[in-house]
Structure 1
């Protein structure tokens, strides 16, 4: 950690290991047959990891296209120098169609009103608006229904401002081996693509496998796979862990801003939910809080690592800070005085010495998934790329 350049204005940051991003990207690319493309999801600022920097690292390691969730996310990639095709995984307000065309961002399309607005704007700008047709095979989120896909294409394909570059769906249970609903969704998608071709329509790139699908269901790789959370070194499910080895890319660290030795019985934080139980307990303050993505529900229910040793978080997590406790009599020596000091580096997620706190551990304590944990660490924390 000595080589990390700490942010100058705040003692808290997110470290992103771009070598881990590259390694994970290559690991997924190796699962695909020659000619099968890989679309890398960098929505939500690359799941909290920094979209432009991660996309550039992925582009050198096998990424063919990128997926985002909003127009602004696509614009950020373009302005950051990303040149590969970009798919926005839903429709945006019709007022945004000019921006989509200006920045060459393909929307998902599943309503005629949006399709016509997009096509008309493309004609006005002397362009052809490429899009991917979204098919709702059972997730009940976005898309045309399978039985309506052919008619939908009939209703919009006459427009000279539109060009279908792909057809896709999204699986709800790709991580469940042998799941009936997954098999039904896969069959519906296959039938839809076949029906489009039989009707004389080019479906473009057919893609349906998400991260767990890419690992567990190679029979549905089709023309392209969409990979997300695994690129950042996190498993989408327990079922994928034995099949692919990944390296977590995110660490969250901060430095101690204050250390005090309160008297026995003194309380800590709002509501005084923790009281000092005995002498020689240090209470250290760290400048990270729930406004940065450290969930308040973790209060009195998480560890941090300092000097290679776990320490217990105590008191309620505040908006901008939290506290942890160190028993000076029991901690293994890492300072000559065996005490935490102001300026010491604290690891909230990541490895320090032999200890590691993972996003999965934090997710389990929060009762959520690792996706949410890493996405929650907000832009208020500087990204340091290592």
Structure 2
């Protein structure tokens, strides 16, 4: 029988552990000195965990600001009731200026054309548009080049319609704080900020630390850190895992929708990439597939948990379904399953666990992508 919180429409879902999320936010908050702030990154629907719901928990646990990737993400937060500052981590097109001002969302700013358009419209509306200035220190993605910050600020600071609320950069190699590249970015950022302060340019909130830098380099916390993947209980790199324990927030579950015992030699799934090798093999169907974030590249390579035991996934993973096999060839046979029984794709079942990192390694990617993928279509259950 389904639990009361399980979705009524489909036997596959994501579980979000609200207590784990709360503990992770407080862990990052505890890294800070008095007066330093915590910006919680909730882009990509909070890395697949559900931004509006997560934001409420994060704010109660100590978040001072939220960061998003797109204007629509920021608007969604405002419409869900978020009142604290929201930073957009990119510069949107000038056509979005009215919405930025309407919903009080601060853009990242790094072109004079956008800055002036933003300021002009703010003056017309009788408001001031706040922004954070992005500084390019070596990642070569967005921002004003570190050597050009004074020239840039002098080209826009005259405008009464805009106000600098902060300046920031983003590290490319914060998982290796001893590297030459990381040290170079850090030095360039410090020098750019100091140059602006020496020239009496308002810098507002100075911030540069992502999740790994927040953990590994307290010297660069400045006024605020930007915690992302770590909030959701996922480690940003191997180096942080032993020194900063986190609680995974997301689990992925499904219930079996069909069971069968095909004859030896029968194929399973598209292309028959798996054939039943012997008698007494049970094939169980799960209603979750690659459209739900279970990447097709995992076909015939991944495992799931059933009653605390690992089962092999077999056959090509379909768009909406996949199959697993119970094969009675182990020292401890697994009893045949029944329709409606619970299977864990990611998470813990008894003493057994399958992590996002395990799945990411099989896919040749990072845990960020795995979590985001599961959050796109599967309904979320908050526990």
The structural deviation recorded for 1:196 is 0.3
Give the distance between the partners of 2:167 and 2:119, measured in 1 at CA.
17
Deviation, 1:4, is 5.3
Report the equivalent of 2:373: 376
Distance in 1 (CA, whole Å) between partners of 2:344 and 2:211 is 28
User: How is 1:176-325 mapped onto 2 (pairs within 5 angstroms)?
Assistant: 176-325=176-325
CA contact (8 A) 1:259 1:342 kept: yes
- Matched with 1:153 is 153
Give the structure 1 partner of residue 30 of structure 2.
Answer: 30
Residue in 1 that maps onto 2:382 = 385
Q: Could you say what secondary structure the match of 1:44 adopts?
A: helix
CA contact (8 A) 1:309 1:332 kept: no
Displacement, 1:328? 4.2
Which sits farther off after the overlay, 347-356 or 325-334?
325-334
- State the superposition RMSD in angstroms: 1.3
How far apart, in 2, do the equivalents of 1:121 and 1:285 lie? 56
What are the superposed Cα offsets for residues 177-223 of structure 1, whole Å, 9 maximum, x if unpaired?
Answer: 31001000000000000000111101110000110000000000000
- Which position in structure 1 is the counterpart of 2:344? 347
- Structure 1 stretches of 4+ with a deviation exceeding 6 A read none
Deviations 1:237-274 (A, max 9, x none): 01111221100000011111111000000011111000
Are the structure 2 counterparts of residues 341 and 324 from structure 1 closer, same or farther at C-alpha, using a change threshold of 3 Å? same
1:57-102 CA-partner distances (Å, limit 9, x unpaired): 1111111000000000000111111111000000111111111111
Hey, what's the Cα distance between the residues in 2 that align with 1:10 and 1:81? 29
The separation in 1 between residues aligned to 2:368 and 2:73, in whole angstroms, is: 18
In structure 1, distance between residues paired with 2:27 and 2:225 = 13
- With normalisation by structure 1, the TM-score equals 0.97
- How far the C-alpha of 1:42 sits from its partner, in A, is 0.3
TM-score, length of structure 2 as denominator length: 0.98
Deviations 1:135-155 (A, max 9, x none): 000000000001111111110
Structure 2 segments unaligned to the other structure (5+ residues): none
Secondary structure class of the residue paired with 1:123: helix
The 5 Å alignment of 1:1-150 reads: 3=3, 5-150=5-150
Q: Deviations over 1:97-150 (max 9, x none)?
A: 111111110000000111111111111221100000000000000000011111
- Matched residues, number: 383
Q: What secondary structure does 1:153 align onto? A: helix
More deviation, 90-99/40-49:
90-99
